Homo-oligomer: A and B are copies of this chain.
Amino acid sequence: MRRMTARPANAHQARLLRLLRDGGPRSRAELGDRVDLSRSKLAVEVDRLLETGLVVADGLAASRGGRRSHNIRLAPGLRFLGVDIGATSVDVAVTNPELEILGHLNQPMDVREGPVAVFDQVLAMVAKLRDSGVADGFDGAGIGVPGPVRFPEGTPVAPPIMPGWDGFPVREALSQELGCPVMVDNDVNLMATGEMQAGVARSVRDFFCVKIGTGIGCGVVVGGEVHRGTTGSAGDIGHIQVEPDGRQCACGNRGCLEAYFGGAALARDAEEAAREGRSPELARLLAEKGRLDAADIATAASAGDGTSLDLIRDGGARVGQVIASLVSFFNPGLVVIGGGVTGLGHTLLASIRTQVYRQSLPLATGNLPIVLGELGQVAGVTGAARLTSDHLFSPA
């Protein structure tokens, strides 16, 4: 069933809705402090928003002298859906209007199975969340896919790790199924958006967020807005060349960053080390499980396995080498590291930091924090909910 959620009529109303989303309930007076509107004009806009049902009056506000007024808050029944499709797993979450997560599911999934199979699984997860009672419908949904997206159309484009997805009308298809507007973006852009909304990048205007999962990507934020680039491929740093005539990469080129690091490269290198007898610990894990992933290497490293530590350090140095170049170019206020491989923890972070602080000029790195993301597995779904709420809270 399609919900007919109202949209704000003008930029003032849109700003008020976003203030309430990011700061929670406020009195009219507090809202007035934050927007450049006369008292009477503010009253008009708030009254119009009350009529749309997007906001409600809720409890008495603290007194500032004179008659006490009601707090204004977003309609508590608003629900946003966030979907974060990775290469090997999918996260689905439902948020309230303040983008707090009310329910969250994570399941393994193979993006290569194609959009039809993946969306069947996503819709089953959505149904499960609905059945749990956190939502009976959605006012908007945001969805992230692990590849470049033609943002205005909401379709993946030439996604290297997603055969079968090129040009698939993700927005149209999901919008029909879910009965609400759908926004589609690259998974890394959504991770950056999530960390900006509720994580480590909350007050930062210029930063980038490097996601090290199966592959490696980067979300770029300029002036508080995601920079998607001319064809939606900004941040596609996994195929930056780090070694001339280096290892063959799946993209067809040689020496790409992803050929050296990321979940896929790490698993391959660890299995090779296990088979070649360079690490009894990895050999034991491989025999036990039949394959290795980043978590196994983290386990082995914690147990003091030298080969695993070397793999993490070398990989960190490779990523650090690329980040150092991007820091020189972009001069960010913060670099966030996220994604599955961040389970490698402090060894990885130390290796990245060493490389960046050594290679970039002091002016760019003097006050540059390089930190792990705060939101972990819910960064993407939080960003997805924010994206769709940004859309809903814009003039129609």
Contact = CB atoms under 8 A, between A and B. Distances in A.
Interface stretch (A57-65, A120-128, A363-371): A363-371
Interface string A162-175: 00000000000000
A242 to B, nearest CB: 9
Interface string A221-248: 0110001111111111101110010000
Interface residues of A, number: 47
A220 B251 contact: no
Contact of A236 (B228, B232, B363): B363
A342 to B, nearest CB: 20
B229 A364 contact: yes
A106 interface: no
Contacts of A160: 361
A221 B223 CA distance: 12
Nearest to A231: B363
Nearest to A204: B230
A392 interface: no
B363 A158 contact: yes
A233 B361 contact: yes
A216 to B, nearest CB: 11
A328 B240 contact: yes
A329 B364 contact: no
A367 B366 CA distance: 37
A363 B233 contact: yes
Contact of A241 (B241, B325, B326): B325
Contacts of A222: 222-223, 227
Contacts of A362: 158
A359 interface: yes
Contacts of A363: 148, 157-158, 231-233, 236
Given A233-B364, A325-B325, 7 more contacts: A220-B329, A236-B328, A241-B321, A241-B325, A251-B361, A253-B359, A322-B325
Interface of A: 148, 157-158, 160, 206, 218, 220, 222-223, 227-237, 239-241, 244, 251, 253, 321-322, 324-326, 328-333, 358-364, 366-368
